[in-house]
Chains A and B, each alone.
Chain A
Amino acid sequence: GQNIDQPTEMTATEGAIVQINCTYQTSGFNGLFWYQQHAGEAPTFLSYNVLDGLEEKGRFSSFLSRSKGYSYLLLKELQMKDSASYLCAVRKGNTDKLIFGTGTRLQVFP
């Protein structure tokens, strides 16, 4: 079966660094995605990992360890606009179907 776990909520201070973890168990693995979703809006693509290691994109970085079924999204120099839900999604092997976690709601305070 498929199972994706993320913390439900996190809080952080403007300018700080926050790490959002995601663990997964799937019957096959073909890549992991992170999306940002502001309340009432559509998810927007942040990052993609299919090989182990760190992918950096400006203030956001994403890490993957396939052997551990683990990923994290690292947000640096937090801004108020980063307050949103962050969705971890795993693509099943040999398909392009995405299995989404419930998302982590991040609140950034001044």
Chain B
Amino acid sequence: KAGVTQTPRYLIKTRGQQVTLSCSPISGHRSVSWYQQTPGQGLQFLFEYFSETQRNKGNFPGRFSGRQFSNSRSEMNVSTLELGDSALYLCASSLVPQGGQTFFGQGTRLTVV
């Protein structure tokens, strides 16, 4: 079956703009999490959604937001982009929240200039 799909794969934005990233989880998976990966920081948890509800949130400013739709697809939005937001954004899906194996998409590489 298809894996976790993230779009777009690459994105270049300028400071101050906003961006929306999309994630389609594995079919049947209802939990979607988002992570930010920057060099030296590993994977930093952004938030997790399950059944259209945000279940958990990491330590990121309010400029980072997300949502989940009834078909489990998820979007994350970053407003007022800063240079430090340049990173690889990874989406992960699992059957249930933090339920065992979590599968990752290939990520969206965002560059803010």
A and B co-occur in one complex: no
State the B residues within 8 Å of A (CB). Answer: none
